[in-house]
Amino acid sequence: MAVTAGPAPAVQANDDEADRNRYLAGGRKFPPSPFISAHITPDKNGKPAGLTFEQFRSTLRTGHNPNDPPGELLQIMPWPVFGKKTDGDLRAIYEYLRAIPSLPDNPHPSPNP
Residues forming contacts to ligand HEM in the complex (CB under 6 A) are: 35, 37-38, 40, 49, 56, 59, 65, 74-78, 82, 93
Q: CA 78 to CA 91: how far, in whole Å?
A: 18
State the minimum distance, in angstroms, from the CB of residue 26 to ligand HEM: 8
State the minimum distance, in angstroms, from the CB of residue 91 to ligand HEM: 11
Q: Which is nearer to ligand HEM, 15 or 44 (CB)?
A: 44
CA 56 to chain centre: 10
What does the DSSP assignment read for 6-39?
A: SS-HHHHHHT-HHHHTTTT---BB-TTSS-BPPP
Q: Which is nearer to ligand HEM, 20 or 61 (CB)?
A: 61
State the minimum distance, in angstroms, from the CB of residue 16 to ligand HEM: 20
Nearest to 63 by CA among 41, 82, 87, 39: 82
Q: Which is nearer to ligand HEM, 38 or 103 (CB)?
A: 38
State the minimum distance, in angstroms, from the CB of residue 12 to ligand HEM: 19
**Burial of residue 21, with CB atoms counted within 10 A of its CB: 0-12 exposed, 13-18 middle, 19 or more buried:** middle
